[in-house]
Amino acid sequence: MDIDFSSYSDVELYGFLREAKGLRDAAFTEIYERHSTRIYLYCRKILGSSDLADDAFQETFSLFLKSVGGSREMTNLPAYLLRIARNVCLQMVQRVRRRPESVFEDGFFAADVEMTPVERSELIALLDVALEVLPDEQREALILQVYEDMSYQEIADFMNVPLTTVRNWVVRAKKRLRDELQQYWTDYRK
């Protein structure tokens, strides 16, 4: 008999991970379907490099499964997964760190960006690159806010910093992004 796992809560699915293989496999698949996109985006945005991000993503789910055997009581599975991903990413960041001062030199847009019509996907790609120049804490706060859809308060709890600090990080990050893309806006408006 097929069981529809989509109707189960995250906590219930986590419980199934301790059961027999068939049930465990199906529960993991459902958890993966629900949360892999957010974890993937987080890893990609934090690490930038796709190879590193791939490793971090895989490592996150590997560690997640290894943690199942214990007596942990799961209350917030998305946050738990995100915390694992964060730890993995931080370890990788410490290993590899190289950050440019500014990624957009004069003439960059004129050479590489079609001005009209400007696809939003193009802007996404540019933002991806612009994220690279942000300080670590600003970038992480921004990523949690825009990709994980967390409130300032949730981010503050997650990063263990005051709310006003998170707000300042996010605001500064977004202003910096806009500044980095200044040439883009200028050309776009022409």
Partner 1 sequence: MDQLSASELIYVYLDGEATPLQQELLFSHLAHNQELQQEFTDALSIGKAFRQERTSSKPPLYLSSRVFADAGIPYHGVDVAAVSAAAGASWFSLRRFILPVSAMMVGVLATYAALTYGSLFSGADSGTTASNESTADVRDVPSRRGSLAMQSDVMLSTATERTSARAVSGGAADVKGVSGSRERAEIVSDVQSTAASPSASSEVSLSGTESTRDDLGDAGMSATSEFGAWTERRISVVPYASSQRLSTVRRAESVVPGFVGTAASAFTLQANRLVRADVFGGSSGTASAGDPSLALLMNLDDQWSVGVSFSRNAYRFSDVTAQGMVLDNPRFTVVNAEAQWISDEAVAMDAKLFSRAAVGVAGVSGALFGTGSFTVGLQIPVSVFTLQPGIALESVLVNSRSGLPLHTRISFVTGIGVNL
Structure tokens at 124: 């996404």
* Alpha-carbon torsion, ordered 77, 79, 56, 5, to 10 deg: 30
* 37 touches partner 1 (CB under 8 A): yes
Of residues 116-145, which lie at the interface with partner 1 (CB under 8 A)? 120-121, 123-124, 127, 145
Select the residue interacting with partner 1 from 67, 87, 168, 183 (CB under 8 A). 168
Contact call for residue 49 and partner 1 (CB under 8 A): no
Tokens matching residue 174: 């977004």
Phi-psi region of 73 (alpha: psi -120 to 50; beta: other; left: phi over 0): beta
Give the count of alpha carbons within 13 A of 189, CB side only. 5
Least CB distance to partner 1 at residue 59 (A) = 8
> What residues contact 18, with CB distance under 8 A and at least 6 apart?
24, 68, 69
Among 8, 34, 40, 93, binds partner 1 (CB under 8 A): 40
- Residue numbers at the binding site for partner 1 (CB under 8 A): 24-25, 28-29, 32, 36-37, 40-41, 44, 51, 54-55, 57-59, 61-62, 65, 120-121, 123-124, 127, 145-147, 149, 151-152, 164, 167-168, 170-171, 174-175, 177-178, 181, 185
